[in-house]
């Protein structure tokens, strides 16, 4: 039997599944595998570490076919750079690199129509309809990612600064972020944010959700705005689905996993669109990558 490897490489973590034919024999989770322009080698190294962990647990050295769905490889240049870097790692005989949205669509809908809404470190919505694949948002932390962990945390930092100066309402967000984050004071937080990477900022989002759950009005406003932003990504994609039939929609990413507070708010809003059929099952994009690997042989 062939050994297949499916990889979902995102901005927060890398998930790996190894299968012997149809049988899953190992799983592993590693560090962020998203690709930044010109920096494919560090991403490939983190992906390879996670893949080797899974292979080792299965008592294997290499797979036959590996599909990697990675964030940040929307252009051929980054996709080719990551593929070349992974080939050097010699963890699979054949390596195929595609976008993280491709494996998410596969995991949710196979080859059929539907929408996937994602909120993790970044955010995006993608749809497959009769005319092909289309997306909304997902333009990165400078141009988009509305409703993502990064955008929620960054908005919280803005609110903290305004509250500090008396330009905005009082909030407990500073205390919540200090309790969960890398800083022990406002001044330390200012210094830290000036050097932090987007994924590090995004890691502060759970503190915002916690503050909202304790009744902080500013935090709750930020979470509500994030839910509105995510629903707004879905709206333009619905236009491509003709007729009156149901449109299946799956949610992916750490902030939209079942049981997460943001998912509940997004679901309430999405259910106002009667054509949307929300899929409740957890979505594992690595399963989509594994399915693509099996089909590639």
What whole-number distance in Å separates Cα of residue 97 and Cα of residue 290?
12
Model confidence band, residue 239 (pLDDT cutoffs 50, 70, 90): confident
Q: Which residue has the tokens 């000036």?
A: 194
What whole-number distance in Å separates Cα of residue 34 and Cα of residue 46?
9
Sign of CA dihedral 219, 224, 228, 123: positive
Please answer whether residues 181 and 207 qualify as being in contact, where contact means their C-beta atoms are separated by less than 8 angstroms.
yes
Q: Coil, helix or strand for 34?
A: coil
CATH domain 3-105+285-296 topology: Nucleotidyltransferase; domain 5 (3.30.420)
Annotated domain spans of the chain? 3-105+285-296
Q: Coil, helix or strand for 73?
A: coil
The string of pLDDT tens digits covering residues 157-185 is: 999 999 999 999 999 999 999 988 778 89
Strand partners, 9: 14, 70
Of 43, 51, 46, 49, nearest to 67 (Cα)? 51
The string of pLDDT tens digits covering residues 208-229 is: 999 999 999 999 999 999 999 9
pTM of the model: 0.84
| Maximum CA extent, the chain | 66
Task: Report the 10 Å Cβ neighbour count for 268.
Answer: 11
The string of pLDDT tens digits covering residues 4-50 is: 999 999 888 899 999 999 999 999 999 988 887 767 888 999 999 99
What whole-number distance in Å separates Cα of residue 258 and Cα of residue 237?
23
Please answer whether residues 12 and 202 qualify as being in contact, where contact means their C-beta atoms are separated by less than 8 angstroms.
yes
Q: Coil, helix or strand for 96?
A: strand
The string of pLDDT tens digits covering residues 48-104 is: 999 999 999 999 999 999 999 998 887 788 888 999 999 999 999 999 999 888 999
Calculate Rg over the CA atoms of the chain: 20
């Amino acid at each position: 039997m062939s050994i297949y490897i499916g990889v979902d490489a995102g901005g927060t973590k890398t998930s790996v599944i190894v299968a012997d034919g149809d049988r899953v024999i190992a799983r592993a989770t590693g560090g962020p595998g998203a690709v930044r322009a010109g920096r494919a080698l560090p991403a490939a190294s983190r992906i390879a570490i996670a893949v080797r962990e899974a292979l080792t647990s299965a008592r294997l050295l290499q797979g036959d076919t590996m599909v990697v769905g990675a964030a940040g490889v929307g252009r051929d240049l980054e996709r080719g750079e990551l593929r070349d870097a992974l080939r050097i790692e010699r963890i699979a005989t054949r390596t195929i690199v595609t976008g993280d949205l491709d494996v998410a669509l596969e995991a949710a809908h196979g080859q059929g129509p539907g929408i996937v809404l994602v909120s993790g470190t970044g955010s995006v919505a993608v749809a497959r309809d009769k005319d092909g694949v289309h997306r909304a948002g997902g333009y990165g932390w400078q141009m988009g990612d509305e409703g993502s962990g990064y955008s929620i945390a960054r908005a919280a930092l803005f609110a903290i600064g305004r509250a500090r100066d008396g330009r905005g309402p009082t909030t407990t967000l500073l205390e919540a972020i200090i309790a969960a984050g890398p800083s022990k004071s406002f001044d330390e937080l200012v210094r830290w944010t000036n050097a932090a990477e987007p994924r590090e900022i995004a890691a502060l989002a759970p503190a915002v959700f916690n503050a909202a759950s304790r009744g902080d009005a500013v935090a709750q406003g930020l979470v509500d705005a994030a839910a509105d932003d995510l629903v707004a990504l879905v709206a333009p994609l619905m236009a491509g689905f003709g007729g009156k039939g149901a449109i299946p929609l799956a949610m992916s990413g750490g902030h939209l996993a079942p049981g997460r507070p943001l998912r509940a708010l997004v679901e309430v809003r999405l259910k106002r669109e009667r054509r949307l059929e929300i899929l409740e099952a957890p979505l594992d994009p690595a399963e989509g990558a594994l399915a693509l690997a099996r089909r590639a042989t």
